[in-house]
């Protein structure tokens, strides 16, 4: 077309005009060639690209599947075989209400759903226009930035794929998917990646997007990443470290850590199991099964039998050197993944039920507490335990991160026929909502301390004791709001959503709407939404941060709770800790 256009102009113009046209077109062609050459030189157009399943697919410039193992395994433990068990239903048996009240209710839910979607679209559009390809958008200053340990691989891009699909934003989904399948895992300024975060956000994001869309290019990109992350297990004892150091992995000098967060080194079972199911390659399942065997071996040998400590010495396989225990930060998804991995394996590996039951028995006896409030509210929280020579000592510290526990208890109660666990899950979930309602902004703080009853039963309120020890500007029952930030976290709405889907109780939808309105009011910026410095101040100070889980989890859970229960049915999917839906075997 370029040549034809020039020939036509040549026939129509005088000689001097022809020369001008040729010069102008030549300059354009040279400029385009130089731009292309520059892009190739700086690596902006990767060399290993072809068309794959309808996408322009870029293969990573380092193929980890061909990396020799320094500590090879000769016999992989295979995925459990046989037909998946018929597991108990997790989701409530919803029915369609065709009455006038039911139709009016659906109109309300549709309106709320639209408002959540608008918040997502606003956030996504700003990310797309300003920070596309970066890990995060800075929602106040309007810049993109990469997060340490995330490789600069577009965490928000990959983390948002499933939400785009779920919200019906298919054009945006395919635009994002086309970018995701060009990621080159070897192109990064970082010398290592955060093994846990890369697994849950990038690998989980690609697998979830594949399970929804069945776009094979996404699975191929997940396999590339899975082969890189699998190298974290190529250590002398096959236990993974917190950081996957690329050079150490290549030369065989990688070892497990002496003091790593327990969640970080044990929370790959869902993603690696699903990858094994989709590829038929047992190496992924073998890797996580070895970690599970260690958990099983140590469950009743720690300083708080039944649970595992907050940090692990995986280098020496000593899990009794730390005497702190929590379901909150640093340990959370270790416990979350026990019932979820049982479900994604179709109930064919009973060890996950054993681990869950043993751990939750200890949690109920030692970590759960009822806050002491004037109204004797029937709510529970999960605290922290420190074990000394005189035994376990519970501190009544609550964390926003710990709000996932309500949903976990509910899921375990459903899957394992433990009705009291569903009741406990409801009380924990309502406790988090109570903490939201207690703050001036209507949002729960990151970390706070409460007065506690001595047992899980109601106890008498002590006004004088509270005034002597607490910040009296807070609601009665609170001692402080030690970390008053809100980081756009999803854990509270996660449990509210799960409880709604498990019980069918529409009260949870009302709680969710109240929470969403409060969060939107307190965090919205001109561009998107930002974490805030304090939930105690109605006029909020924005901290210019919007982590990828805002789009991947928080808004996804808000959208789903107002959607049809058939959208991501809990009997068909397991949600990983980043809310990516992975298909359950049937």
Question: By C-alpha distance, which of 552, 536, 534, 554 is closest to 493?
Answer: 554
| CB atoms inside a 10 Å sphere around CB 92 | 16
Question: By C-alpha distance, which of 486, 547, 546, 548 is closest to 518?
Answer: 486
Residues 6+ apart with CB under 8 A from 350: none
Q: What angle do CA 246, 177, 181 make, to 5 degrees?
A: 35
Q: Are 434 and 347 in contact (CB under 8 A)?
A: no
Question: By C-alpha distance, which of 432, 425, 565 is closest to 511?
Answer: 432
Specify the pLDDT at position 45: 39
Concatenating the DSSP letter of every residue in 94-108 gives -----SHHHHHHHHH
Residues 145-183: tens digit of each pLDDT: 999 999 999 999 999 999 999 999 999 999 999 999 999
Give me the chain's average pLDDT, please: 93
Q: What is the pTM of this model?
A: 0.91
Helices (H), 99-143: 100-126
Portion of the chain with pLDDT greater than 90, in percent: 90
Helices (H), 181-331: 195-197, 204-213, 216-230, 246-251, 262-266, 269-279, 282-298
Residues 203-218: tens digit of each pLDDT: 999 999 999 999 999 9
Residues 315-361: tens digit of each pLDDT: 999 999 999 999 999 999 999 999 999 999 999 999 999 999 999 99
Q: Are 294 and 91 in contact (CB under 8 A)?
A: no
Mean pLDDT of 443-465: 95
Looking at the chain, the number of H-run helices and the number of E-run strands are: 22, 18
Specify the pLDDT at position 53: 82
Confidence bin at 22 (pLDDT 50/70/90): very low
Specify the pLDDT at position 76: 98
Residues 6+ apart with CB under 8 A from 259: 311, 312, 313, 322
Specify the pLDDT at position 222: 98
Helices (H), 400-490: 404-415, 419-438, 463-469
Mean pLDDT of 79-100: 96
Residue 44 has pLDDT above 70, yes or no: no
Active-site annotation holder among 172, 349, 397, 446: 446
**At how many degrees (to 10) do helices 332-344 and 351-366 cross?**
150
Active-site annotation holder among 491, 494, 553, 578: 491
235: left (phi over 0), alpha (psi -120 to 50) or beta: beta
Beta bridge partners of 244: 193
| CB atoms inside a 10 Å sphere around CB 517 | 13
Encode 443-468 in three state secondary structure.
CCCCEEEECECCCCCCCCCCHHHHHH
Confidence bin at 51 (pLDDT 50/70/90): confident
Signed CA dihedral, 498, 503, 505, 506: sign only = positive
Portion of the chain with pLDDT greater than 70, in percent: 92
SS3 label, residue 583: strand
Active-site annotation holder among 135, 159, 197, 281: 197
Annotation marks residue 446 as catalytic? yes
Annotation marks residue 215 as catalytic? no
Q: Are 302 and 315 in contact (CB under 8 A)?
A: no
The C-alpha R_g of the chain, in whole angstroms, comes to: 26
Structure tokens at 319: 């899990």
DSSP state at residue 470: S
Specify the pLDDT at position 330: 98
Lowest mean pLDDT of 3-12, 136-145, 456-465, 523-532, name the range: 3-12
Active-site annotation holder among 135, 172, 313, 332: 332
Residue 386 has pLDDT above 50, yes or no: yes
Alpha-carbon 403 to chain mean position: 14
Specify the pLDDT at position 233: 98
């Amino acid at each position: 077309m370029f040549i034809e256009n020039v020939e036509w102009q040549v026939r129509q113009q005088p000689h001097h005009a022809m020369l001008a046209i040729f010069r102008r077109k030549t300059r354009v062609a040279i400029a385009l060639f130089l731009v292309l050459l520059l892009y190739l030189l700086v690596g902006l157009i990767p060399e290993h690209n072809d068309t794959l399943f309808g996408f322009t697919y870029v293969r990573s410039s380092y193929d980890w599947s061909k990396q020799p193992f320094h500590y090879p395994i000769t016999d992989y433990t295979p995925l459990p075989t046989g037909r998946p068990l018929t597991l108990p239903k997790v989701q409530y048996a919803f029915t369609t209400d065709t009455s006038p009240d039911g139709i009016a209710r659906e109109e309300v839910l549709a309106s709320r759903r639209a408002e959540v979607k608008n918040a997502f679209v606003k956030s996504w559009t700003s990310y797309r226009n300003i920070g596309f390809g970066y890990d995060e958008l800075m929602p106040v200053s309007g810049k993109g930035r990469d997060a340490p340990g995330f490789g600069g691989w577009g965490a928000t891009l990959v983390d948002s794929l499933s939400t785009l699909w779920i919200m019906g934003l298919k054009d945006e989904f395919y635009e994002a998917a086309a970018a995701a399948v060009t990621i080159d895992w070897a192109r990064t300024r970082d010398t290592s990646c955060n093994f846990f975060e890369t697994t849950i956000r990038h690998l989980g994001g690609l697998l979830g997007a594949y399970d929804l869309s069945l776009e094979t290019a996404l699975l191929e990109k997940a396999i590339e990443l899975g082969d890189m992350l699998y190298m974290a297990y190529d250590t002398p004892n096959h236990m993974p470290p917190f950081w996957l150091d690329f050079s150490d992995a290549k030369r065989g000098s990688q070892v497990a850590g002496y003091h790593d967060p327990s969640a970080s080194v044990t929370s790959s079972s869902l993603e690696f199991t699903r990858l094994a199911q989709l590829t038929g390659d047992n190496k992924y399942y073998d890797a996580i099964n070895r970690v599970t065997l260690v958990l099983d071996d140590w469950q009743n040998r720690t300083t708080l039998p039944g649970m595992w400590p907050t940090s692990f010495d995986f280098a020496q396989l000593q899990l009794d050197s730390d005497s702190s225990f929590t379901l909150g930060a640093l340990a959370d998804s270790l416990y979350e993944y026990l019932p979820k991995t049982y479900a994604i394996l179709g109930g064919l590996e009973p060890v996950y039920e054993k681990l869950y039951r043993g751990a939750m028995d200890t949690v109920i006896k030692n970590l759960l507490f009822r806050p002491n409030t004037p109204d004797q509210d029937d709510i529970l929280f999960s605290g922290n335990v420190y074990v000394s020579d005189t035994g376990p000592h519970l501190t009544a510290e609550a964390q926003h991160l710990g709000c996932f526990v309500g949903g976990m208890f509910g899921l375990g109660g459903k899957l394992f026929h433990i009705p009291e666990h569903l009741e406990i899950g409801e009380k924990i979930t309502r406790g988090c909502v109570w903490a939201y309602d207690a703050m001036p902004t209507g949002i729960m703080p990151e970390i706070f301390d409460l007065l506690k009853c001595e047992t899980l039963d109601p106890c008498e309120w002590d006004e004088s004791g509270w005034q002597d020890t607490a910040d009296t500007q807070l609601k009665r029952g609170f001692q402080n709001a030690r970390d008053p930030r809100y980081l756009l976290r999803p854990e509270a709405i996660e449990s509210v959503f799960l409880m709604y889907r498990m019980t069918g109780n529409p009260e949870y939808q009302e709680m969710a709407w109240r929470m969403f309105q409060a969060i939107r009011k307190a965090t919205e910026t001109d561009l998107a939404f930002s974490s805030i410095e304090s939930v105690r101040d109605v006029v909020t100070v924005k901290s210019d941060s919007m982590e990828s889980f805002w789009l991947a989890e928080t808004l996804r859970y808000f959208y789903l709770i107002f959607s049809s229960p058939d959208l991501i049915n809990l009997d068909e999917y397991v949600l990983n800790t980043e809310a990516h839906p992975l298909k359950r075997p049937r």
